[in-house]
Structure 1
Amino acid sequence: MYSTTLQLNSFPQRDGVCVSDDFDLLRVATAILESVTSANVKEYKELNAVQDKLSKELAGKKFFIVLDDVWNTCKYNQWTTLQSSFHVGAAGSKIIVTTRDANVAMMMGDTNPYNLGKIPEDDCWKIFEHHALLNNRPQNVDLLKEKVTSKCNGLPLAAKTLGGLLRCKGVDQWDEVLDHKMWNLSEETDILPALKLSYHYLPSNLKRCFTYCAILPNDYEFGEKQLILLWMAEGLLQQKPEEKKQMEDLGSDCFQELVSRSLFQKSSKGNSQYIMHDLITDLARWAAGKTCSRLEDKPNYDLPKSRHSSYIPAWYDGVKKLEVYSEVVRLRTFLRLSDSAPYGYLAPKVTSDLLPKLQYLRVLSFYGYQITQLPDTIGKLKHLRYLDLSYNYEITSLPDSISSLCNLQTLILERCNKLKALPTNMSNLINLRHLNNSGVPSLEQMPPQLGRLTNLQTLPNFVVGKGSGSGVREIGSLSHLQGTLRLSKLENVINAEDARSASLQRKERLEALFLEWSDSSVSTEIAAHVLDKLQPHTKLKELTITGYAGLRFSTWIGDPSFSNMVRVRLQGCNHCQFLPPFGRLPCLKELHIQGMDAVESVGPEFYGECNLPFQALETLEFEKLKIWKEWSSCQQDEGIGVFSCLKMLSIRDCPKLEGNLPEKLDSLTMLQISGCEELVVSISNYNQLHESDIKIASW
């Protein structure tokens, strides 16, 4: 971006933040602070607090900060306020602002901005080759290269998108695309011809899905599943009669097809999220016309013609801001965007007066709003298929009328911390496919007859009740469950046959299973029988057992048939004297043992009868084993290959452990020891050790 070369290594603090067209001073300052500290700092609600913290973090440091994609030129005072946080840096600190608007450069006081030119033809061709998967070079490659580079005109995005389009077509069809009349049409829009063509050649189902994305703001990060559930709610995923795929799988096919065509791209943050380039977002808005809108983008007179709309929330959203939606009688999507503010407040009159007017809603998101009570009238939204109430820390119950939403497919209650109960008649929601109740610790039990919801795929937390209608056998008929399943309050299972009826062995798409007992007074014999019958499918990847009161672990735990198991955690299993044979799990990477009060020794039973135990283990943690005294070494092959991949070893609060640690830990890079007064530690045994934290006593 500069004509002179910047030596980035000379800047200890290097960070970047995408500003985009949504310039909110608190949001931008918070994003910079998060980038600087690499921590979640959304608890700061006041700008002054954020700026004070940012100034302290940057004080005396030589930093390099990029404010990317800045558009706003109307808030000069806010820019100067933001810049005041940077004055405490060391001499030589740099701030780079990227923009497509020359007025932004003038506002920032740069009279001679650096303008990026077009990339050379060879570089443009390399980008095209990469995205077109041009492995076998065609005979007329020189002619093709000339055509492609002339069409792309030195623009990387055009080369990337054109490559993504042609990779989906046979080489014999490339001339049809490259000679299309759309390249020569002169229109008033600023949409690149390459982008218009990429949309033109999309199949009709992909056009519908892509166009829906016009409701997303520039640089908005979204997840694959999040978008698929919205598409599904709007009926954009059409299943052919001969297809046997689930709608979610069809959605995943569409999503990945749009990725392969370079219309979606992975976020640079590396967090499994996706974004659309600004020009791609413009393409979606051009294609959508007036059917999709954002409250911030369009004048109010356009909104009544919209079918799908989103908006950026403030800390408090009142009637005046949202009253325009009362005129949008055919609105189907009312989406509060989820990444702009961690939480906020909504005027009660919005839910009581506005909702009854939006009779055609299919998607309703109140993500992050601290609503204490939903009105009963929500049950009159008969077309509703997607309801997001997540990150509401105040709501304690839901109105029974929700049970009348017979078309509801997705109900998101994630992080509703105070929610105690679900509607009693939830079993009426026969079309429900996703009930996300993760992070809802106050939930007392599940509603009765939940097993009637045979389409359920997502149910991360099943709280076992004492009555037969909410018992663990209710999940037996939920054959489509996938992802994570947490069975809590297992002390309420008093008949092992109920556990068998849960049929966990048949749920092949489960990846993570959490088994939790919260009452230590449960019968040790009953707990053992229940654990035996809760054996999951061998494709399971993650297992956590908490509060188990049995004297022994079931034989299926540590069985080598669980060849996909990568993460195991045992915690608070205070009656078991011996650990399972985890050494037999061929792909186990993480093992955490916590709060095992009866374990006195760890030895052969831990390694299992195999020639090469723990061949994949990278992280091993022991914590709060009160009477653990001895850790015996493995005798197989004289210890050769045992823990051969172990990188991190942590032993904390094991006061009676004595002797030495295993010596042949050739891959160990991190060692943490605390509260182990009797243990002998010699870090000279570990050649690869990069970091150690060894304390004699626990604090």
Structure 2
Amino acid sequence: MSVIGELALSALFQVLFNKITSPDFSKIFHKEKVDADVKMWKRTLLKIHAVLDDAEERQMTSKLVKVWLDELRDLAYDVEDILDEFATEALRCKLNAESSTSNKVRKLIPVCCVSLNPSSVMFDANMRSKIKDINTRLQEIVTQKNDLQLRDCVGGRTRTSRPKLPTTSLVEGLVYGRKEDQKAIVDLLLSSELHNAQLSVIPIVGMGGLGKTTLAQQVYNDDEVKGYFDLKAWVCVSEDFDIVRVTKVILQSVTTETCDVNDLNLLQIKLKEKLYGKKFLLILDDVWNDNYNDWTKLRCPFEFGAPGSKILITTQNDRVSSIMGTTQAYKLKELSNDACLSVFTQNALGTTSFSAHPELEEIGRKVLERCKGLPLAAKALGGLLRTIPDRDEWKYVLNSKIWDMSAENNDVLPTLRLSYLYLPSNLKRCFAYCSLFPKDYEFEEKELVLLWMAEGLLQEIGQKPMEDLGAEYFRDLHRRSFFQQSSRNKSLFVMHDLINDLAQWAAGDLCYRLEDKLGGDKQLNISTKVRHFSYIRCYYDGITRCEDFPKDKRLRTFLPLPIENSGYLTNFVPSCLLP
């Protein structure tokens, strides 16, 4: 299971805490006389939750820690199932009571006897057994936690993975397919309409790996831009939005002098003096922070520049764009197939075509299909195959998940993973659930919201209707570039293939997607850890096997299905899915 599973586990813990402490559940626990057990669960889970960060880091190097996390995750989901069973039983008893008391004959029967029906007795017996099992497993988890000497990371986690390198203003290598985008941004920077504005902020928005930073680098080094501004500065903001650090870097950029001052007031006064009356261009690359107060504090010195000063920001988040931008965001699109091909072959073969290696062209184009217009993916895949003109090796890359490839030469995973890490906990599970969607599947907002609701993935907030809450979740994921509007129908949405891969990585083995893998006497071994299951069936003109017709002609039905953790699925074809 991937590290992301533990991040979703942290989000699940929050759901459990919310349920355990809610007034409605407290009444149920008191009625069923399980108060003491549930209070013990809460205390124990709080202690375990405190060491999750340390466990997440150590699982990379310790198989025992990874096994412990797997067992903990299964236990947490079983606890959630029991809480849901309590809620269901409480609702059943309420409905039975209402039905019974409405019957004149049953009114003669004492209320205490009404509740003593076979269903209630069976529920009590089953629940006592399950609670006992949870208590035993919880104690084992705590004992193992102590044996593993997992630490309470009060001060936050210490990353052991390779840190993300900051970007610079220098363009790396050759750039393909962005001439029109470069011209559009340069025109905005030199626009006469914005010339008289005191300060204009222009956002470039798009999903990770699209080349926003590369485009900003091209613009920063454009000859027309160089001659238009008095001062230029480049800052890689990244996920650490430290106002003192960012201000200091900007000051050092415009003065070309080192600065040892760490007082924000002194730094901003100095920066104001340097920018006063000058027309400047500032690039804020890779911005994640969407706190409006942080932005207003940072921008104070920028207000003293000359009219026509510009700030160009790059971000994956539309909310960042709306908070910081003063102009409409520039939405960066995927590269054309030809441009993406040039990026791939340049990095793989040192040329812009397959002319020197025609035997690799067919499989090379299949590898390239996986990039879906993302230059970062094309560059990463090309880099993996560089100086290896071997068809077998290229086939291996074609059939491998991009996450399984060499971490030293693959920036796609950390780039997209950061997008997931920055999701609020309430969105992590909802996004991971989307791994059930097949690639290229177009879905409606309402469709996905109803699925989230049915799976209990929405965290209730006051009296807000669940449909409205789900719509907020959906729009937030859309703003963060996880969903894109379909080019075919603006009322539908789709996930980029690599975002779909990210969702599968996020879900780990919690979700299982079956795409026409059934047939004949095949027996599929489905992990008992699976919590969500979907079946996708292709059909076209009476043909029901995907491999029997061209990919572009396929029509697919998608259906999420409940799954019992039996471990096996044999010759399973629901009749409702037959064409």
Q: Is the shorter-chain TM-score for this pair beyond 0.5, marking a shared fold? A: no
Q: TM-score, normalised by structure 2?
A: 0.32
Structure with the bigger percentage of strand: 1
Structure with the bigger percentage of helix: 2
Q: TM-score, normalised by structure 1?
A: 0.27
Which protein, 1 or 2, shows the higher relative CO under an 8 Å CA cutoff with sep ≥ 6?
A: 2
